[in-house]
Amino acid sequence: MPFHDRGSLWGRWDLHFATPTSFDYQNGSVTNDQIVEGLKKADIKVVAITDHHVIDVPRLHELQKLAGDDLTVLPVIEFRTELGGKEKVHLIGIFRRMPTLTSCGRS
């Protein structure tokens, strides 16, 4: 995300966005192009790709490439824990824009 002379700017962020990589994603035929196009159309400036239990490295690299300078794509992982209660707890880890992804997730 570029810096602006006038300081901070407000933008729309989606910090919990799943892709067909998630086991419970409803429409597995959605392409990366469609994902980026939909996010840009919705005027999202930053998206956190929050797939369950995995970081899909090739998909993230392609999404980041397709997004260009109009959309920041952050890698995220979501884990579900069962801590003994009735409700499951979801933990989300958000990484910086371009971490070394080759050593984690799917490659």
Q: β-strand 12-17 against 89-94: which pairing, if any?
A: unpaired
Q: Judge whether 2 lies within some domain.
A: no
Q: Per residue in 5-31, pLDDT tens?
A: 777 778 899 999 999 998 888 898 999
Q: Judge whether 39 lies within some domain.
A: yes
Q: Which structural domain, as residue segments, surrounds residue 37?
A: 12-103
Residue 106 has pLDDT above 70, yes or no: no
Give me the number of domains the chain comprises. Answer: 1
Q: Which class for 52: exposed (0-12), middle (13-18), buried (19 or more C-beta within 10 A)?
A: middle
Q: Judge whether 71 lies within some domain.
A: yes
Residue 107 has pLDDT above 50, yes or no: no
CATH for 17: 3.20.20.140
Q: Judge whether 65 lies within some domain.
A: yes
Reported in sequence order, the residue ranges of the chain that DSSP labels E, i.e. its strands, are 12-17, 44-52, 72-81, 89-94
